[in-house]
Amino acid sequence: MDKNDAILVTGGTGMVGTRLVEQLQSAGYTNLLVPTRKELDLCDEQSVNAWFDRNRPRYAFLIAAKVGGIAANIADPSGFLADNLKIIVNQITACHRSGVEKLLLLGSTCIYPRECPQPMKESHLLSGPLEPTNEGYALAKIAGLRLAQSYHQQHGMKCVLPMPCNIYGTNDHFDLSRCHVLSALVKRFSDAVANDTEEVVLWGSGIARREFIHVDDVVDGMLFLFEKAADGEIVNLGSGTDVSIAELASMIAEETGFQGKIGWDTSRPDGMLKKCTDVSRLHELGFQASVSLRDGIRQTVAQYRTLSGACEKSLDDVTIQKSTRRVA
């Protein structure tokens, strides 16, 4: 990519998109197109086509998606399927019709079957039924990557298809109704310490295993693959190691200073019991994740405490202002 090429980043205000834009800007790219939701409704085909006609990006990083943790997926399976299908199909078809030279579609390892052999290889795609708790999201992602591959095979459009494992880190959000497991645990244990809570009860049994990758490694990996792997083949993007949710909870409890009891609500689902990627292809191409899980957790705890401290200060200021108005 040349420094003045028009480069589209959808989802540019999310965790991955924000870090990607920052990375591109620091590398000297000056023509970044980062439309907000108000500027570009990705669920509206006409709006998407009109935007592409006006702006004509040469390259596109398609990051935008409706995302959430297990609770959000269970609560709204139709939304996760329908909205993500619209977002993905509208973006990819607009890229084709407007002449985008190369696109990257950010996927997810939830595309692999529930009973997938471990570690999960790219070749395991569509080899069995999906995990029911996030089937809608997974189906949309599978449809998107197949659509991108079809444009590559039929029309020669270059596409890069990284499949990251569980992403966490800088600019993550901590809304328990829709956040993912690591940020949810950081919030739960940090709040428990702040409120002197004696027990934190978590969903499931704790035996499910997950693989995590820091957002900085995701962005570095995406940019690496954008230059190295435009052949339309999916590439797992992960660390290649996993931990149980119980182990993760213990690590986060330690980092937050929580010394109470950790309980488990086994009436709640565990989701897919094991989900670790085979990163052989990624390593063969020349990329490896570098942020350790322990360091990433430490950074995320610090970020949450900064955010929650700022929120408390803001609430205190509001209280003081109201009190002052009453006195006056």
Per the annotation, does 38 bind a ligand? no
DSSP 257-307: T--SEEEEETTS---SSEE-B--HHHHHHT----S-HHHHHHHHHHHHHHH
Per the annotation, does 47 bind a ligand? no
62: three-class secondary structure by DSSP: strand
Per the annotation, does 141 bind a ligand? yes
Per the annotation, does 164 bind a ligand? yes
Per the annotation, does 106 bind a ligand? yes
Per the annotation, does 57 bind a ligand? no
95 Cβ contact list (under 8 Å, min separation 6): 52, 57, 60, 62, 103, 151, 157
Per the annotation, does 108 bind a ligand? yes
Q: Could you tell me how many residues make up the chain? A: 328
Per the annotation, does 107 bind a ligand? yes
∠ CA 134-201-269, nearest 5°, is 25
Q: Is 29 a catalytic residue?
A: no
Beta bridge partners of 9: 61
Contact 226, 160 (CB under 8 A): yes
Angle between helix 293-327 and helix 181-194 axes, rounded to 10 deg? 50
Per the annotation, does 218 bind a ligand? no
Per the annotation, does 281 bind a ligand? no
Per the annotation, does 15 bind a ligand? yes
Which two tokens mark 164?
């990251």
Per the annotation, does 298 bind a ligand? no
Per the annotation, does 18 bind a ligand? no
Per the annotation, does 152 bind a ligand? no
- Pick the catalytic residue: 59, 112, 137, 304? 137
Which two tokens mark 219?
């962005």
**Cα separation of 193 and 175, whole Å?**
18
Per the annotation, does 293 bind a ligand? no
Contact 10, 91 (CB under 8 A): yes
Q: In the Cβ-directed half-sphere of 210, how many Cα atoms lie within 13 Å?
A: 24
Contact 91, 48 (CB under 8 A): yes
Other Cβ atoms less than 10 A from the Cβ of 119: the count is 19
Residues placed in the known binding site for substrate: 188, 203, 210, 270
Residues placed in the known binding site for NADP(+): 11-17, 106-109, 141, 164-167, 180
The catalytic site residues sit at 137
Residues placed in the known binding site: 11-17, 106-109, 141, 164-167, 180, 188, 203, 210, 270
